[in-house]
């Protein structure tokens, strides 16, 4: 019998999962059940997966199993939980927005670094969605009550363009373009080190990092995570760091940040992915002090969603939007240019 858990424990499990089914392929090496499930469900933690297993909510070939069960080729693993509880009420808030464009179908926002896109656990106010609900009053809901109108996201500390649908038809039409990877998304990023090539492509499946579930990591096993492709081009070289343009072929969680770390060029000032570790450079005067000053100017990852191109849901014509780098990013680049001359 599973151990007794209080209502908060049950609530956590119900919040964590939707229904899932995984069939271990022929090349599957023997792997613990809790690890197998954790690696395949985005945002899952091993602790919560183990709770689900204890509650009998995770089955192997239709039967309750233990966390240490060794999943083998051909096994069918299913996650079955009750429907999640209703989300808390979203509160419209009078938060200023930098609106790039708006019509009856959609709105584009130049999001500042530091603004969370949508409400989540312990964070139900002060988000872009709260601001949008004040500005628009009514946003369409596709599958998640906490993310009305959203067809994509960018990280809290990433600045730049984000697209929001204002009608049900626009939401479906735009979401399909993101799903088909036909959206043109270009970012500017400042990365550590001198990139070896002027341009290139990074390919590698992304899934939750096994050591820190808040992060994404690159896996060589194509059966783990989601296919991810980032194209990059060098815009400017500074010796100890490089300004690059990144074009997303796919749009996974933390894709650019994880891919750049994977090839040894983490984003400048990106604490989560190793970007606060100063890359040594002996030929520049007072180098460490200079870098620390830059960290103070831009205390967040140097990543900016610069352009967005898509087919308009009403006119069915291609549209393209671009927004300049924010002040903190521009200031850092200007200081680097002066410093390395």
pLDDT in tens, the chain (341 residues): 333 333 333 233 333 334 577 888 877 789 999 988 888 876 667 887 888 788 777 889 878 889 999 999 989 898 865 444 455 678 899 999 999 999 999 999 999 999 989 877 556 788 999 999 998 877 876 555 667 888 899 999 999 999 999 988 898 899 899 888 999 999 999 999 999 999 999 999 999 888 777 889 999 888 889 999 999 999 999 999 999 999 999 999 999 999 999 999 999 999 999 999 998 876 788 999 999 999 999 999 999 999 999 999 999 999 999 999 999 999 999 999 999 98
Given 156, 179, 202, the domain boundary residue is 179
d(CA 209, CA 197): 27
The DSSP annotation for 152-193 comes to ----TT-EEEEEEESSHHHHHHHHHHHHTT-SEEEEEEEEES
- Asked whether residue 160 falls in the same domain as residue 66, the answer is no
Q: Which two tokens stand for residue 37?
A: 């499930």
Residue 220 lies in a domain: yes
d(CA 148, CA 130): 10
Residue 88 lies in a domain: no
Q: Which two tokens stand for residue 48?
A: 């919560």
- Asked whether residue 231 falls in the same domain as residue 328, the answer is yes
Element containing residue 131 per DSSP (H, E):
helix 128-136
What radius of gyration do the chain's Cα atoms show? Answer: 22
Pairing of β 99-102 and β 76-79: unpaired
Residue 315 lies in a domain: yes
Pairing of β 99-102 and β 106-111: antiparallel
Cβ(186)–Cβ(246) under 8 Å? Answer: yes
At 13 the pLDDT is 31
- The domain that contains 209 carries what CATH number? 3.30.2350.10
Q: Which residues are catalytic?
A: 155
Partners of 111 in the β-ladder? 160
Measure the CA dihedral 165/170/171/174, to 10°.
Answer: -100
Q: Which two tokens stand for residue 147?
A: 């993310």
Whole domain around residue 73: which residue ranges? 7-79
Among residues 223, 219, 222, the alpha carbon closest in space to that of 209 is found at: 219
At 18 the pLDDT is 41
Residue 91 lies in a domain: no
Residue 74 lies in a domain: yes
Number of domains in the chain: 3
At 87 the pLDDT is 54
d(CA 260, CA 187): 13
d(CA 134, CA 335): 38
At 1 the pLDDT is 30
């Amino acid at each position: 019998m599973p151990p007794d858990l209080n209502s908060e424990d049950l609530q956590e499990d119900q919040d964590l999962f939707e229904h899932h089914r995984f069939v271990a392929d022929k090349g599957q090496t023997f792997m613990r059940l809790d690890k197998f499930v954790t690696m395949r469900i985005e945002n899952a933690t091993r602790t919560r997966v183990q709770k689900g297993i204890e509650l009998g909510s995770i089955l192997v070939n239709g039967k309750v199993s233990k966390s240490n069960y060794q999943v083998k080729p051909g096994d069918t693993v299913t996650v079955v939980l009750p429907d999640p509880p209703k989300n808390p009420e979203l509160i419209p808030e009078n938060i200023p927005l930098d609106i790039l464009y708006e019509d009856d179908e959609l709105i584009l926002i130049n999001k500042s670094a530091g603004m969370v896109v949508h409400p989540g656990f312990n964070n139900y106010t002060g988000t872009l969605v709260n601001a949008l609900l004040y500005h628009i009053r009514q946003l369409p809901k596709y599958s998640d009550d906490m993310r009305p109108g959203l067809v994509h996201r960018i990280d809290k500390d990433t600045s730049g363009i984000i697209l929001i649908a204002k009608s049900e038809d626009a939401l479906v039409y735009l979401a399909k373009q993101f799903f088909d990877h036909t959206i043109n998304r270009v970012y500017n990023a400042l990365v550590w080190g001198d990139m070896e090539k002027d341009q290139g492509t990074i390919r590698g499946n992304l899934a939750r990092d096994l050591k820190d579930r808040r992060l994404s990591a690159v896996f060589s096993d194509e059966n783990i995570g989601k296919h991810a492709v980032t194209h990059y081009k060098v815009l400017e070289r500074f010796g100890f760091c490089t300004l690059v343009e990144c074009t997303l072929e796919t749009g996974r969680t933390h894709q650019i940040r994880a891919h750049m770390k994977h090839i040894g060029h983490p984003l400048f000032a990106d604490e989560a992915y190793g970007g606060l570790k100063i890359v040594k450079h002996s030929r520049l005067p007072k180098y460490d002090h200079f870098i620390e000053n830059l960290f103070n100017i831009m205390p967040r990852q140097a990543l900016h969603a610069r352009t967005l191109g898509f087919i308009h849901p009403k006119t069915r014509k291609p549209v393209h939007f671009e927004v300049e780098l924010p002040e903190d990013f521009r200031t850092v680049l200007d200081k680097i240019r002066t410093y390395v001359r």
